[in-house]
Amino acid sequence: MTLLTSRHTVTALLVLALALRIAALEIHPIGASLFADMDNYRQIADHIVAGEWAPGHFLPAIGFSLILAGFKRLFANWTGALAVFHGVLSMATVWLVWKCATRAFGPRVGVLSLLLAAVHVPWIVFTTVALSETTFTFLMAVVVWASLEIVERPSMRWSALWGLAFVAGFWMKGTPAFLGPLFLAGVLVRERWSRAAITTVAVPLCTVVGAGLLLHGVLTYRTTGEFRLSSSAGGLNFIEGKCPSKRNYDSTGSRWLSPVYAQLGMTSAKMWDRPFTDSGYFMKEGLKCIAADPVVLVQSFENIPFLFVGNYMWPATQFSVAPLVRLYELVTGPFLMAGVALWLLARWPRRREAWGELVVWGAPLLGLCLCVYVFKSEIRFRVPFDVWFIPMAFAGWLARVTAGEVPAPAPDA
């Protein structure tokens, strides 16, 4: 038994993860940072509690506002209750990352992934603010575990759980939009579109996801009179990524400037005569921008490295620890990006027996890259997907260090 396979090491790292999160929540309580997006979620939750609904409530994904509304109804000190909720979910995420990494790549990668997950600054920062990332990250960690189950021993139960975690995550953030179709297509191609794969995986997964999307549509129709399967921010994100104007104002007086464009000094402004909630209109305007300047389709490829480098994570940039967070990102961003690239290289040329591994770990990477290429990008979009990228990076680096040998999975993980 070595340090990387010792149970005492695992226990110590889990204790460290818990201590860091408790300390962070004590030093920086959630109620101390109710500004910008955090305040917007709070205000939407207040309206929900009061029974007041408006189309603008669905501009961000509505899921986290519903969670806040629940906490506001149940607890007088809702920020304190949310802190406990975030702490539990963040610890569960750390544990799941360790278990998934160990199961997929072996105990060495598992413990190394646990080490980084325990001290991962973005996850700790998001634990201390009223944003959806902590909940979303946990749900993506559940998706990783369910993915491993589906690929290794598919069942209707795990397929349904995958669909539930995915669609719940979609109620939190729109970034996994391409993940679902890519994962399902990968599983079906791997199983040669067999009847067993369709009935065991595709049917329950699609049924649960479809029900979740339909429920969203019913909620929007009953509260605003308009049927929507997802948040209405897609059009706004599209014009941000494809049009010259980055500081945008709508007809209601709302304005939007993504942190990445503010950091890059891209602040050209435009006033629109429609509300941001008119996603269809803004999608059409984005297509007009592409037609006027097709080079933007090439330029959009820069959104992929922006997931790792070239900008700093908001809202950490607004806190006193911003210099330390930036230093951490300058190290971990390139480490993760290079490690994921090494992981891919270690599996090239593709072998059919490795197809399941590519479905589990490659589909999220491709899905996120497609999402930010089509829309826009920043480090904040990547952080929840680190539940995949942290194990991939360590597996890639370890494969490189061990002369290209891929770490073997632990049979009893």
Say if 99 falls within a structural domain: yes
* Structural domain that includes position 173: 3-401
Burial of 352 (0-12, 13-18, 19+ CB in 10 A): exposed
Say if 413 falls within a structural domain: no
Say if 39 falls within a structural domain: yes
Number of helical (H) and strand (E) elements in the chain, helices listed first: 20, 3
pTM for this model (two decimals): 0.95
Q: What pLDDT does residue 258 have?
A: 93
Say if 109 falls within a structural domain: yes
The answer to whether 302 and 277 have CB atoms below 8 angstroms apart is no
Q: What pLDDT does residue 71 have?
A: 98
Say if 127 falls within a structural domain: yes
Crossing angle for the helix pair 63-74 and 133-152, to the nearest 10 degrees: 120
In 75-202, alpha helices (H): 78-105, 107-119, 121-127, 133-152, 156-172, 179-190, 195-197
Say if 281 falls within a structural domain: yes
Say if 139 falls within a structural domain: yes
Distance CA 338, CA 360 (A): 19
Three-state helix/strand/coil letters over 30-74: HHHHCCHHHHHHHHHHHHHHCCCCCHHHHCCCCHHHHHHHHHHHH
Say if 185 falls within a structural domain: yes
State the CB neighbour count (10 A cutoff) for residue 108. 21
Crossing angle for the helix pair 133-152 and 78-105, to the nearest 10 degrees: 30
Q: What pLDDT does residue 404 have?
A: 45
pLDDT in tens, 341-387: 999 998 877 666 678 999 999 999 999 999 999 999 999 999 999 99
256, β-bridge pairs: 248
Q: What domain count does the chain have?
A: 1
3-state helix, strand, coil in the chain (%, to 5): 70, 0, 25
Q: What pLDDT does residue 6 have?
A: 78
**Which positions ≥6 away from 4 have C-beta within 8 Å?**
107, 108, 111, 112
State the CB neighbour count (10 A cutoff) for residue 299. 12
Distance CA 99, CA 108 (A): 12
**pLDDT tens track of the chain, all 413 residues?**
577 777 899 999 999 999 999 999 999 999 999 999 999 999 999 999 999 999 999 999 999 999 999 999 999 999 999 999 999 999 999 999 999 999 999 999 999 999 999 999 999 999 999 999 999 999 999 999 999 999 999 999 999 999 999 999 999 999 999 999 999 999 999 999 999 999 999 999 999 999 999 999 999 999 999 999 999 999 999 999 999 999 999 999 999 999 999 999 999 999 999 999 999 999 999 999 999 999 999 999 999 999 999 999 999 999 999 999 999 999 999 999 999 999 999 887 766 667 899 999 999 999 999 999 999 999 999 999 999 999 999 999 999 888 645 555 544 43
